[in-house]
Amino acid sequence: MGLWVTKQCRLWNACTLSKVRVELLEKIGFVFDMNDKTWQDCYNELKAYKEEHKHCLFPRVCEENVPWRCWVVKQRSLWKACTLSKHRVELLEKIGFVFELDDERWQDCYGKLKAYKEEHKNCLVSNNCNENESLASWVDNQRTLWKAHTLSKVTVGLLEKLALCSSSMMNVGNFAKHS
């Protein structure tokens, strides 16, 4: 049976399996390309995750989604290498998949900092509160990168709009302690 299944897949890949046989095999759920089947299954799971969580971004530490995290990382890697098919890119884009993860996370944190400043009238994000711990860490990281002159002019400009980056802050140390 295994040899027969392998032969059907080989004939299908070579486009020499008759249309009638393809239709008959498809009616019983025959899978011609296991890689495609696996990809489609993962994509469907990602769609379900998106419907439940309203995004396609997995937390950095997420035990229950470890296999999906690997699959998601692989899709980004294939996309960056320009080896992800146009069809798959379109499917992923359709559900709001984020290919440039670093930019998406930065924008998300920047938005949270803007909201924080609007509410508190400053950028003194305390890392003493679990709710703000990740934002405080991000703010501290931006300051470190700013001091090292590794932020782009656009990024510095955005942070300056919030008064997060300025030469007067250089001697202070941590953004979380300054506005």
Q: Looking at the structure, tell me whether residues 124 and 84 fall in a common domain.
A: no
Q: Looking at the structure, tell me whether residues 77 and 121 fall in a common domain.
A: no
Number of domains in the chain: 3
The Cα–Cα gap between 32 and 55 comes to 31
Q: Looking at the structure, tell me whether residues 86 and 146 fall in a common domain.
A: no
Q: Looking at the structure, tell me whether residues 149 and 168 fall in a common domain.
A: yes
Asked if the model's pLDDT at residue 86 lies above 50, the reply is yes
Instruction: Output the pLDDT for position 99.
Output: 80
Mean of pLDDT over the chain: 77
Question: Is residue 162 within 8 Å of residue 113, measured between CB atoms?
Answer: yes
For residue range 126-159, what is the model confidence (pLDDT) as tens digits? 777 667 778 888 888 788 778 888 777 777 887 8
Q: Looking at the structure, tell me whether residues 81 and 110 fall in a common domain.
A: no
| Residue 57 domain boundaries | 33-99
> How confident is residue 95, by pLDDT bands cut at 50, 70 and 90?
confident
Instruction: Output the pLDDT for position 178.
Output: 36
For residue range 19-47, what is the model confidence (pLDDT) as tens digits? 898 888 888 877 676 678 888 888 998 89
